[in-house]
Structure 1
Amino acid sequence: MKKFSLFLAFLFASFSSVFAQGEIEMATGLRSSGKIYVVVLVMLTIFFGVGLYLFSLDRKIKKLEDKKQS
Structure 2
Amino acid sequence: MNKIITLCFLLLTSLVLKAQEPEMADVFRKEGKIYVVIIVAGIVLAGIFAYLFFLDRKIDKIEKSNQKQK
TM-score (norm 2): 0.64
Structure 1, unpaired ranges of 5+: 1-21
- Aligned pair partner of 2:28 in 24, 27, 30: 30
TM-score (norm 1): 0.64
SS at match of 2:38: helix
How many aligned residue pairs are there?
Answer: 48
Distance in 2 separating the partners of 1:26 and 1:40: 13
- Which aligned runs of 4 or more in structure 1 are off by greater than 2 angstroms? none
Structure 2, unpaired ranges of 5+: 1-17
- Aligned pair partner of 1:49 in 13, 27, 47: 47
Higher Cα Rg, which structure: 2
